[in-house]
């Protein structure tokens, strides 16, 4: 039994001196392996006096368990130390972009069209689209624009060669023909916005492009008045340019609305005191609008004595250029990744 007590005394020291998991294995074999003192003594129990056996057996087990605990503790400590060593060697400089994932960006024109659409969707509007190659009837006649109107000249409008030459076919000059199509297909009430691409026979300069985009709006119901137009555009101005914006409506002329107005919004950059953004006027001209002309209602089969409505239309490039300080309209169509990458 002295041998056993020697083991019990020596074991913590032996185990504690081990510095690796492999070394610990050897010590474990030495202390509790097949040929260890403890194992030998267990095997020798049967040779003992039966009266001594329980005491001796209990002591052997006690020592055995004690040694096991010491080894387990040591193993855990060594494992932690080993892992810590590994983690130190596994250190990286996390500031280095070793893996890059590059997502594409949304085009600013899309962003603005969606944003404008969503403002009106939040007011319960639907979003409609229509053909870009359009008949002169939808683009002009239905919109109370007579055949003599200068906008119909080839110097202003692009025409295409398609179908029967008597059906003048053109590139829509505004998104308004979708108004006419939508009204033909729906009974009032109508609350709709129309984003889309439009065309004019304009040469490219800083603010003009033969291809550009508009968002059109149309509301028709039995009780729509000029006050509804005014309130709606005020709501839009605040939603798009921020709280605190005020608008003014200036009388104007468009064939398809009567009365007609130009909508100006107080400058978001200077709050109306005058700056570069608003050419020192304090106001930014944003869109044309007005009450739908009765002739338009008649053209699409609505009864102008039963319904009234308002319409408005704004240039998407202009909205984007004004709000983001974009210097030339070409930036929308060159698709320069250095520009597209800014539209986030």
Q: Going by DSSP bridges, is the β-strand pair 190-199/126-127 parallel, antiparallel, or unpaired?
A: parallel
Least distance (Å) between residue 140 CB and another protein: 14
> Considering beta carbons, is residue 34 or 100 the nearer one to another protein?
100
Question: Which one of 55, 61, 84, 225 is in contact with another protein (CB under 8 A)?
Answer: 225
Which distant-in-sequence residues (6+ apart) come within 8 Å of 81 by Cβ? none
Q: Least distance (Å) from another protein to the CB of residue 284?
A: 14
Closer residue to another protein, CB minimum distance, 52 or 334: 334
The answer to whether 127 and 115 are in contact (CB under 8 A) is: no
DSSP string of 82-98, one letter each residue: HHHHHHHHT---TTS--
- Distance of alpha carbon 193 from alpha carbon 114, whole angstroms: 11
Residues 230-269 that bind another protein (CB under 8 A): 230-232, 234-235, 248-253, 258-262
Residue from 12, 66, 131, 274 binding another protein (CB under 8 A): 131
- Which CB sits closer to another protein, 13 or 104? 104
Least gap, CB of 203 to another protein (angstroms): 6
- Output 35 or 98, the one with its CB closest to another protein: 98
Distance of CA 218 to the CA centre of its chain: 27
Distance (Å, whole) CA 287 – CA 205: 20
Q: How far is the CB of 86 from another protein (least distance, A)?
A: 24
Binding test (CB under 8 A) with another protein, winner from 191, 245, 318, 323: 191
Interface with another protein includes 160 (CB under 8 A)? yes
Q: CB of 295 within 8 A of CB of 144?
A: yes
For another protein, the binding residues in 39-98 under the rule CB under 8 A are 96-98
What is the spatial distance between Cα 203 and Cα 103, in angstroms, rounded to a whole number?
34
Name the minimum Å distance from CB 87 to another protein: 22
- Of 37 and 112, which CB lies nearer to another protein in the complex structure? 112
Q: Residue 137's closest CA among 311, 305, 296?
A: 296
Q: Are 166 and 246 in contact (CB under 8 A)?
A: no
The residue among 262 and 271 lying less far from another protein, judged by its C-beta, is 262
User: To the nearest whole angstrom, how small is the minimum distance from the Cβ of residue 154 to another protein?
Assistant: 4
Backbone angles phi, psi at 214, to 5 degrees: -135, 160
Nearest to 217 by CA among 162, 161, 176, 174: 176
109 binds another protein (CB under 8 A): yes
């Amino acid at each position: 039994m002295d041998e056993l007590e020697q083991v019990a005394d020596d074991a913590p020291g032996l185990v504690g001196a081990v510095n690796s998991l492999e070394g610990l294995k050897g010590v474990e074999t030495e202390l509790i392996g097949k040929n260890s003192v403890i194992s030998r003594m267990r095997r020798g129990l049967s040779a003992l006096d039966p009266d001594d056996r329980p005491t001796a057996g209990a002591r052997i087990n006690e020592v055995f368990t004690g040694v096991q605990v010491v080894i387990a503790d040591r193993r855990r400590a060594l494992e932690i130390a080993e892992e810590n060593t590994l983690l130190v060697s596994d250190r990286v400089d996390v500031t280095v972009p070793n893996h890059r994932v590059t997502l594409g960006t949304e085009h600013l024109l899309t962003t603005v069209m969606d944003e404008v659409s969503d403002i009106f969707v939040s007011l319960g509007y639907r979003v409609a689209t229509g053909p870009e190659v359009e008949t002169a009837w939808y683009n002009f006649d239905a919109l109370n624009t007579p055949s003599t109107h200068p906008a119909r000249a080839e110097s202003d409008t692009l025409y295409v060669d398609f179908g029967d030459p008597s059906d003048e076919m053109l590139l829509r000059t505004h998104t308004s023909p979708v108004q006419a199509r939508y009204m033909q297909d729906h009974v009032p009430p109508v609350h709709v916005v129309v984003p889309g691409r439009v065309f004019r026979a304009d040469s490219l300069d800083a603010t003009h492009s033969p291809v550009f985009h508009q968002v059109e709006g149309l509301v028709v119901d039995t009780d729509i008045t000029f006050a509804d137009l005014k309130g709606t555009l005020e709501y839009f101005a605040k939603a798009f340019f921020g709280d605190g914006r005020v608008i003014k409506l200036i009388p104007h002329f468009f064939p398809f609305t009567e009365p007609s107005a130009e909508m100006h919004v107080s400058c978001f950059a200077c709050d109306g005191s005058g700056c570069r953004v608003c050419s020192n006027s304090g106001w930014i001209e944003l869109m044309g609008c007005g009450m739908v002309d009765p002739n338009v209602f008649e053209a699409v089969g609505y009864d102008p004595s039963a319904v009234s409505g308002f319409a408005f239309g704004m240039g998407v490039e202009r909205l984007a250029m004004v709000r983001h300080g974009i210097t030339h309209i070409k930036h929308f169509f060159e698709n320069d990744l250095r520009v597209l990458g800014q539209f986030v």
